[in-house]
Amino acid sequence: MPRVVLGVTGGIAAYKAVEVCRRLIDAGCFVSPVLTVDATRFIGTATFDALGSEPARIALFDCPEPSPHTHLGQQADLIVIAPATANTIAKYTHGVADDLLTATLLATRAPVLICPAMHTEMWEQASVQTNLATLRSRGVHVLDPDSGDLACGDVGMGRLPEPGRIVAAALDVLAQNRPLLGRRVLVTAGGTREPIDSVRVITNRSSGKQGYAIAQVAAEMGAHVTLVTTVDRAIPEGIAAVIRVETAQQMQDAVMPIAAAQDIIVMAAAVADFRAVAPKDRKTKKEDGPPSIVLEPTHDFLVDLGAQKPAGQILVGFAAETESLHENALGKLKRKKLDFIVGNDVSQSDAGFEVDTNRVVIISAAGTATELPLQTKTAVAKELLHAIVARFA
């Protein structure tokens, strides 16, 4: 759910912000209303308390959070200022932070959409246009006002666009910055554990960190993420559904019934290649001597995913190798009919299993191979997902 801070400033068009708030909620956004003191001269906070996702905020101080502007700024996926007065535009341009709204604008890395509304004479002032040009040059989105009826019976340029246009512009900005918005993504993470007896298991060194990073970045990019995991790690914020499994068979049983409904499947989990043929239902005692463990291969259901892949779905596999990385990864990509495969040399101490960094090659079905230098697993996740977004585009 995208989080939108809706800033309302002190202009007569503040009443239209009520409809903007309602429509953003209807579009599936979490809306945090922030009003300037002057805005409350035109519209009350009670209306936004009722319609917003949380109560409206006005004060920089005396809030439940010790630092409300940083809380709002860090959590926001988008900040919309509607209406934006000449005064607020000037303060934002020059870095003035003398109220909660302007402080939030300076405390965010989220995109900002401002919707100016003022009398024609103010709109045409060179200082206002210079400020808007400066903001545009910094990447701020500006929705120019309409021409029409203004306050006090005047007519001219400066009328706040209708709420439908504002919300459409806001959703367009969100789509640009959240390119997976509306996409369904399934990510597997961690190493499976295959029982030998009621106590012991066959497993591997996978920590699940790379899979979790992919799930988190996909959620940040707007996707509806299902995480199928074998590890007990804190679930990243924004994950829509979590399915906990242990064995390769359990992971298969969790993934296959929902696979066709996914737009993207990233099989980052290290699924066991072998399991015990006859695991015991009790602990094997030491005094009984070393047990004889007969292994059988697990079913490689990634092959099934490739064979049954719906049109338009992107399927990604991982290849953890200790030798011939490119050759082995490319072979898996072709055999399993994948769109991408991420190969990494797990024999290196600073990459692969258990550590926070990775050094990988991303190979596509189109034949491209992108070598990524040592970087965080979150950075790897971003590179992979941007490659996937490019494929959709």
Angle between helices 377-392 and 209-220 (to 10 degrees): 50
Identify the bridge partners of residue 32 per DSSP, sorted by sequence position. 5
Read off the amino acid at residue 156. Answer: G
Identify the bridge partners of residue 362 per DSSP, sorted by sequence position. 342, 370
Rounded Cα gap, residues 191 and 205, in angstroms: 7
Which of 32, 131, 146, 138 has the alpha carbon at shortest distance from 83?
146
Angle between helices 126-137 and 86-93 (to 10 degrees): 50
Place of tokens 């094997």: 284
Residue pair 353/207 in contact (Cβ under 8 Å)? The answer is yes
The conformation of residue 238, written as its DSSP 8-state character, comes to: T
Can you tell me whether residue 386 is helix, strand or coil? helix
- The CA-CA-CA angle for residues 154, 156, 157, to 5°, reads 135
The string of DSSP codes covering 326-349 is HHHHHHHHHHTT-SEEEEEETTST
Residue pair 72/34 in contact (Cβ under 8 Å)? The answer is yes
* Structure tokens, 2: 């995208």
Question: Which run of H or of E encompasses 278?
Answer: none
What are the catalytic residues?
A: 204
Phi and psi of 218, rounded to 5°?
-60, -40
